[in-house]
Chains A and B, each alone.
Chain A
Amino acid sequence: MTQHASPPRDSTGKVPPSGAAPAWRGLMAHADVRTLSLLGVLAALIVIGGITKPDEFLDTRNLQLVLTQASVIGVVTVGMTFVIISGGIDLSVGAIVALASVWATTVATQEYGFAGILFTAVLVGVGCGLVNGVLIAYGAMVPFIATLAMLASARGLALQITDGKTQIVTIPSVLDLGERDAYVLGVPPLVMVFAVVTIIGWLVLNRTTFGRRTVAVGGNPEAARLAGIDVRRQRLYLYLLSGLCCGIAAFLLIILSGSGQNTNGNLYELDAIAAAIIGGTLLTGGRGTIVGSVLGVLIFTTITNIFALNNLQSDVQQIAKGAIIVAAVLVQRRTASTT
């Protein structure tokens, strides 16, 4: 046969060129680096707060306030993190919180007392999540569009229910949960709910088949499907989960504000997405951590608090938040590209 054979080469075929072990160690290091750098940012913020307003910032009441504020958006962010890891997005979380909070505080609902409010808030959240999930998983709608439609509709419905009025909660057992008397060892009940949701979220993501499937669906939907995972059902469950978190958050917000308003949860979707992103969750799916997202929430809430204490207006806060998002993504891009 007339052929110019290529020069003989090492037939043992050595690939990959760069050794496997260093790359692996690099990845492990990065996982730690990401969490550590978020912790570092949070520590730096606490130092800044402590220096600029030593008396006010480090005051127990202020720290309780920061954590309480973080709780509502934090619970939403845990659900959002799951959705984003699966390669989706949920733009409707803020609107669902609003709808759940007003539906749970109507006069009719309040007749059923504490349980009525809690049950309604959760049910409305899950119901909205169900609609999102069915449209996305079985209606093959793009998550962005389906949840955008939910955002508009849920806000509209919330306005229709309240007619723009604030619905005051008159159930003492609900209101009492927001009072100082209800704090356990100085920890507000809302913060405890947030902590429990975080821990459950972490366990579900890292220790259960549900969490594994979420990562698989986000990392490579085709591979997940060919591995025998029911990708559509998983997607449905994920939006249900996000809706459930919104329902819980709505209940927390009712406790916190003692009322239900159709303007509740305004721009929660942006805060939750931003917190997940700076926490290291890939917007394209397949990777993300609950710890990172919660740290992202705490960082945002702390900044807001420090700015407020220093009499900086919300416009400055918004600009700072935007800058942080950009910085976080740029830093992560750099660390990702060096692996």
Chain B
Amino acid sequence: MAPEPPLLSMNGITKSFPGVRALDGVDLDVQAGEVHCLLGQNGAGKSTLIKVLAGAHQPDTGTIRWRGEEVALRSPIAAMRLGIATIYQELDLVQHLSVAENVHLGHEPTTAGFIVRGRTARASTAQLLKRLGHPEIDPGRLVGDLSAAQQQIVSMARALSHEVRLIVMDEPSAALDPDEVDNLFRIVGDLTAEGVAVVYISHRLEEIRRIGDRVTVLKDGRAVAGGLPAKSTPTRDVVAMMTGRNVEYVFPERPARDAAGGDPLLEVRGLARDGEFEPLDLVVRPGEIVGLAGLVGSGRSEILETVYGARRPSAGQVLVDGRPLRPGSVRAAVRAGLGLAPEERKAQALLMLESVTRNVSVSSMSRFARGGWIDRAAERGAARAATRELSLRPDNPSVPVRTLSGGNQQKAVLARWLLRGCRVLLLDEPTRGVDVGARAELYAVVRRLADEGLGVLLVSSEVPEVLGLADRVLVLREGRVVHTAPASELDEHRVLDLVMEGSPAS
């Protein structure tokens, strides 16, 4: 297709971390002067891929070719020397240095090799900022005093202060207002006109429509589609690829009985958090799985964490068994019978240095303790029973939890709440980082727990997962519930339309 070799071509890139294969044979090729969009859910492998590209991670296998020649990006400096610049989502600026100092960090213009020529640095910085359409930013100001959008511009100025041929932008629009986004797109257009390639990561499909040339979709560490035309591929197809429609899931059957029976276990009344989600009402009854469907940024995780007391609501109430919980208190929630399996298992749920037993028992230690003294035999027995019930593998709770696969780590978190005698499970992306093969088993576990009388509130960006597992579905868009219906009355297309457009257009 291309008359000359692509600017960048990555082939068969794999990268594993303990317990998870983040990249599983990813191909990516980027032409000079194009905007190549990278799409995928959280955890699909985008961040790992761009870190490989930035020289921050070394791939386990695979080749990287730069203008046809094989290269090894051994360090961020090596990548920079080739002309690859990365603008990370979490801006990597030094807050207490000035704009000019940040832009030239690591390659300051100097006299005699060590005396920084501040005036030169400020002048060239001012020029870069002007080129980026933000001449009003003073190069002498501290970066910490700038707005998020301005910091983004500084970050971009830093990238452009090098001889750059390819810029990776990781969700650059996430922190920007609409008019700032327009400016960003203008800059991207200028860059590509100069022959610079842009790898653009975003969750916003409409942006990709506007500026993208081609799209590569990542899912579960694989490129499920490479180099699709960005403007003409139907949105629905792109989202379906992101959300894994092509994967065959086996969902457990719903119970025949009406799940809406019984008094509500969990009731949420007018719960809201300013800037995150609007007042929300929902009810979870015993045996019922309620799903929240929505894309990243729709407020899903925030809702769960607020229900759980990990975030303090700005309005509203959470009731368990009709009794209101003290707002903003995780301990009150846990005592009332809530249990959270958070999205970031390793960062938010697991004690990675500890055994499975200790991870499982951590929320119910006092049950095995008399006067603070832990009966370890009882603890081990209970942890073993809980992990067996969920068929956690290996069947040996004394192994460190970090040696488990993603699915089994999730089971360890569920076992924790099972042991605690939890009555409402809050599941945030329960199958993230879980192998496709292990998912069906996890679904069966969740359904079985519900059948035993637990209430489940499920959040997932994978629409088939919500539809397949939940009894009732609330569709979220930008912090607002746009639709509520029994799962059996919804199909994936309908939900995707709702999730993206907010109205059931076809």
Q: Please determine whether chains A and B interact with each other in the same assembly.
A: yes
Query: What is the bound-complex CA distance between A21 and B393, given in angstroms?
Result: 12
Q: Is A165 an interface residue (CB 8 A)?
A: no
Residues of A contacting B98 in the complex (Cβ-Cβ under 8 angstroms) = none
Residues of A contacting B406 in the complex (Cβ-Cβ under 8 angstroms) = 15
Residues of A contacting B376 in the complex (Cβ-Cβ under 8 angstroms) = 207
- CB <8 Å contact, B372 and A209: yes
Known: A228-B331, A228-B334, A228-B363. A16 touches B18 (CB 8 A): yes
Q: How far is the CB of A215 from chain B (nearest CB, A)?
A: 7
- CB <8 Å contact, B308 and A226: yes
Q: Which of B18, B246, B394 is within 8 Å of A3, CB to CB?
A: B246
Known: A15-B20, A226-B340, A230-B331. A209 touches B366 (CB 8 A): yes
Interface string of A213-232 (1 = CB under 8 A from B): 10110011011111111100
Residues of A contacting B20 in the complex (Cβ-Cβ under 8 angstroms) = 15-16
Residues of A contacting B435 in the complex (Cβ-Cβ under 8 angstroms) = 12-15
Q: Is B347 an interface residue (CB 8 A)?
A: yes
Residues B396-438 near A (CB distance < 8 A) = 399-400, 403-406, 416, 420, 435-438
Q: How far is the CB of A202 from chain B (nearest CB, A)?
A: 13
- CB <8 Å contact, A226 and B228: no
Residues of B contacting A209 in the complex (Cβ-Cβ under 8 angstroms) = 365-366, 369, 372, 374
Interface string of A149-186 (1 = CB under 8 A from B): 00000000000000000000000000000000000000
Q: Is A212 an interface residue (CB 8 A)?
A: yes
Residues of A contacting B21 in the complex (Cβ-Cβ under 8 angstroms) = 15-17
Q: Is B351 an interface residue (CB 8 A)?
A: yes
- CB <8 Å contact, B240 and A1: yes
Residues A250-291 near B (CB distance < 8 A) = 286-287
Q: Which of B233, B241, B348, B352 is within 8 Å of A226, CB to CB?
A: B348
Residues of B contacting A2 in the complex (Cβ-Cβ under 8 angstroms) = 228, 233, 237
Query: What is the bound-complex CA distance between A225 and B363, given in angstroms?
Result: 10
Known: A13-B435, A16-B20, A228-B335. A5 touches B246 (CB 8 A): yes
Residues B334-387 near A (CB distance < 8 A) = 334-335, 340, 342, 347-354, 358, 362-363, 365-366, 369, 372-374, 376
- CB <8 Å contact, B437 and A11: yes
Q: How far is the CB of A273 from chain B (nearest CB, A)?
A: 20
Residues of A contacting B223 in the complex (Cβ-Cβ under 8 angstroms) = 6
Q: Is A144 an interface residue (CB 8 A)?
A: no
Residues of A contacting B240 in the complex (Cβ-Cβ under 8 angstroms) = 1
Query: What is the bound-complex CA distance between A230 and B14, given in angstroms?
Result: 41
Q: Which of A13, A215, A225 is within 8 Å of B438, CB to CB?
A: A13
Residues B56-73 near A (CB distance < 8 A) = none
Q: Is B225 an interface residue (CB 8 A)?
A: yes
Q: How far is the CB of B69 from chain A (nearest CB, A)?
A: 25
Query: What is the bound-complex CA distance between A212 and B365, given in angstroms?
Result: 9
- CB <8 Å contact, B358 and A223: no
Residues of B contacting A215 in the complex (Cβ-Cβ under 8 angstroms) = 351, 354, 358
Residues A285-325 near B (CB distance < 8 A) = 286-287
Residues of B contacting A15 in the complex (Cβ-Cβ under 8 angstroms) = 16, 19-21, 405-406, 435
Residues of A contacting B233 in the complex (Cβ-Cβ under 8 angstroms) = 2
Interface string of A1-38 (1 = CB under 8 A from B): 11111110101111111001101100100000000000
Known: A5-B224, A220-B351, A228-B363. A212 touches B358 (CB 8 A): yes
- CB <8 Å contact, A220 and B350: yes
Q: Which of B335, B342, B372 is within 8 Å of A210, CB to CB?
A: B372
Residues of B contacting A213 in the complex (Cβ-Cβ under 8 angstroms) = 365
Query: What is the bound-complex CA distance between A196 and B436, given in angstroms?
Result: 53
Q: Is B296 an interface residue (CB 8 A)?
A: no
Q: How far is the CB of B492 from chain A (nearest CB, A)?
A: 13
Q: Is B140 an interface residue (CB 8 A)?
A: no
Q: Is A62 an interface residue (CB 8 A)?
A: no
Q: Is A52 an interface residue (CB 8 A)?
A: no
- CB <8 Å contact, A286 and B348: no
**Residue of A5, A216, A228 ringed by the most chain B CB atoms within 10 A:** A228
Q: How far is the CB of B24 from chain A (nearest CB, A)?
A: 7
Q: How far is the CB of B224 from chain A (nearest CB, A)?
A: 6
**Residue of B241, B373, B404 ringed by the most chain A CB atoms within 10 A:** B373
Q: Is A208 an interface residue (CB 8 A)?
A: yes
- CB <8 Å contact, B369 and A227: no
**Residue of B16, B226, B331 ringed by the most chain A CB atoms within 10 A:** B331
Residues of A contacting B436 in the complex (Cβ-Cβ under 8 angstroms) = 11, 13
Q: Is B482 an interface residue (CB 8 A)?
A: no
Q: Which of A16, A21, A208, A220 is within 8 Å of B374, CB to CB?
A: A208
- CB <8 Å contact, A4 and B405: no
Q: How far is the CB of B147 from chain A (nearest CB, A)?
A: 26
Query: What is the bound-complex CA distance between A142 and B276, given in angstroms?
Result: 29
- CB <8 Å contact, B366 and A3: no
- CB <8 Å contact, B224 and A219: no
Q: Is B76 an interface residue (CB 8 A)?
A: no
Q: Which of A7, A23, A223, A225 is within 8 Å of B351, CB to CB?
A: A223
19 extra interface residue pairs, beta carbon distance < 8 Å, beyond A1-B240, A20-B404, A23-B400: A6-B25, A13-B405, A13-B436, A15-B19, A17-B16, A20-B399, A23-B403, A24-B400, A208-B373, A215-B358, A216-B351, A216-B362, A220-B351, A223-B348, A225-B330, A226-B348, A226-B349, A228-B331, A230-B331
The 10 lowest CB-CB distance pairs between A and B, nearest first, are A13-B435, A228-B334, A20-B403, A3-B225, A13-B437, A6-B222, A209-B365, A219-B351, A208-B372, A12-B437
26 residue pairs A–B, Cβ–Cβ below 8 Å: A1-B240, A3-B225, A6-B224, A9-B25, A13-B435, A13-B437, A15-B20, A15-B435, A16-B403, A20-B394, A23-B18, A23-B400, A24-B399, A24-B403, A208-B369, A219-B354, A220-B347, A220-B350, A222-B348, A223-B347, A226-B348, A227-B362, A227-B363, A228-B334, A228-B363, A228-B420
